[in-house]
Chains A and B, each alone.
Chain A
Amino acid sequence: MEQGVIFAGFGGQGILLAGKVLARAGMEHGLEVSWLPSYGPEMRGGTANCTVVLSDELIGAPIVDAPWALVAMNAPSLDRFEPQLAEGGLAVINTSLVHRSVQRTDLTAVPIPVTQLAHNLEMPRAGNMVALGALLRGLDSVPLQSAVQAMAHEMEERGRESLVDANRKALEAGYEEAGKVIVGS
């Protein structure tokens, strides 16, 4: 088993953190993981993406030709990465900002109003965790509970224990919403 996941969106949407929480959840779940950020001269409002690889064996390349899943937090991200996704792959799309669906028929699209759901939770900055929760519904390698734990560890290390509860709710909201979309999950 080796799964590549790309998180992409605007700088400031918590793209890199969402990827890191997934990588950490995978690690704490006993998998081999790698997390590779795009690190050009980027800034808030520019583009950001990262690649997470989850595997049950030691990881060679931390870059992937055909990622198994994509979290597209804005329209340019879907335009850029949809063609690269593996056959039958998964695309979580933030429909609050992306007003089109996937063009490929082989993909499983998971349209989620990520930004809207985060606002509803009065946690406008937790859209990244809503999206990660939605992704986890389609990802059989890492359970939601591992991600909740990894997120909590991450917040604690940053001295942000007060945000653990809200981020847990965001993860669960995304997971639940995706359940309505992904058939048989």
Chain B
Amino acid sequence: MSRTLMRGNEAIAEAGIRAGCRCYFCYPITPQGELVEYMARELPLREGVFLQAESEVSAINMVYGAAAAGVRTMTSSSSPGISLKMEGISYMAGARLPAVIVNIMRGGPGLGNIAPAQGDYFQATKGGGHGDYRLIVLAPSTVPEAAELIMLAFDLSDRYRVPAMILADGMLGQMMEPVELPAPVDPQSIPARPWALTGAKGRDPNVVLSFDLDPQGLKEMNRELQQTYREIQGTEVRWECVDTEDAEIVLVAYGTMGRIGKTVVRLAREEGIRAGLVRPISLWPFPYEPIRKISAQVPTVLTLELSAGQMWEDVRLAVEQRAQTPFFGELGGVVPTPRQILSEVKRYVSS
């Protein structure tokens, strides 16, 4: 199969269409503008609907509507825009609607800037909207992986009826790499949606709601949600290990920092430091167990993030003081180079 040189934003859009996304709603924002442009150009030619809403709030509620009607649907934005979508995301979680939300993160808080950052980890994984809900959160670190994870996000979201988020950053959105695009999904293979609002001719009406005024009823709805989340935690944890078997120090990093971490491991090994890397691919469910196991074998688990230390909290929950858990992060859209991180690694190895 031939390789195409594509921007992260473009590969995400193309993979979304190939995953069967037929309705895309958005409000434009940098650094994910190319994703919007690509959808605007391609989706109408491929039996789909592209609609630029008047605001992020409208866009996410259009996603709510399309999902309720049983269509594979998606939206994308960047940090401040995702904040605006949070109410709708919580409603979709409550209404058990499958959809894919892409966050190409930028520097924050507030308007921040358009440079790459990972400051939205808490928002994505801990419930940025209200109520007891979770999103399935997948974090690609390369352009080909972004294409692959979009396909997976649609599948998982359908299977569990839980909205899924792709959490990437401006660097992945803007950079180009060769991609072997996944084959388009056969529409027949997309799971049936007997709950969808398709017109109740000849059957009882379906109801898609995110509320129940009776506390016992809402309790039952929540109980079912929690049961689904436990099932996802049991089966959908994804991560990658690089050179962890004999490691004296293990780095934990995702997305852009995950790939930079791979270079750090290589540079460290060239200097005789036995470094390894765990790269969480699913941020929720988080790979607690693999990190727990590794932390029993190494003295140091160093977390790297483009934030003040958000995933770090999950790493420390996994390690539970079996190893020391230092942190190295950058803020405001500054991206550290591999050698800057390598000097940090050297602070924790005795040799």
Interface size on A, residues (CB 8 A): 20
Q: Are A27's CB and B114's CB within 8 A?
A: no
> For chain B residues 1-45, which have a beta carbon within 8 Å of chain A?
3, 5, 30-31
- When C-beta atoms are compared, the residue in chain A nearest to B143 turns out to be A34
Q: Contacts A39-B170, A40-B114 known; A61 to B178 CB distance under 8 Å?
A: no
- How many chain B residues touch A (CB < 8 A): the figure is 25
Q: Let me know if A35 and B266 touch, CB within 8 A.
A: no
Query: Do B177 and A34 have beta carbons less than 8 Å apart?
Result: yes
Q: Are A35 and B175 in contact (CB under 8 A)?
A: yes
Q: Smallest CB–CB gap between A160 and chain B, Å?
A: 17
Q: A60-B263, A65-B337 known; A36 and B5 CB under 8 Å?
A: no
A36–B337 touching, CB < 8 Å: no
User: Binary interface profile of B, 258-270, with partner A (CB < 8 Å = 1, else 0)?
Assistant: 0111111010000
B196 within 8 A of A: no
B266 touches A34 (CB 8 A): no
User: Is A23 located at the chain interface by the 8 A CB criterion?
Assistant: yes
A98 sits at the interface (CB 8 A): no
Interface mask (B103-129 → A, CB under 8 Å = 1, otherwise 0)? 000000000001100000000000000
For the complex, is B171 an interface residue (Cβ under 8 Å from A)?
A: yes
A147 CB to closest chain B CB, in angstroms? 13
CB of B171 within 8 A of CB of A27, answer: no
| A36-B338 contact, Cβ under 8 Å, with A60-B260, A60-B262 | no
| Cβ-neighbour of A36 out of B30, B171, B264 (below 8 A) | B171
Q: Which residues of A contact B339 (CB under 8 A)?
A: 65
B176 within 8 A of A: yes
Say yes or no for A63: interface residue by CB 8 A criterion: yes
Interface residues of B (CB under 8 A from A): 3, 5, 30-31, 114-115, 170-171, 174-178, 259-264, 266, 335, 337-340
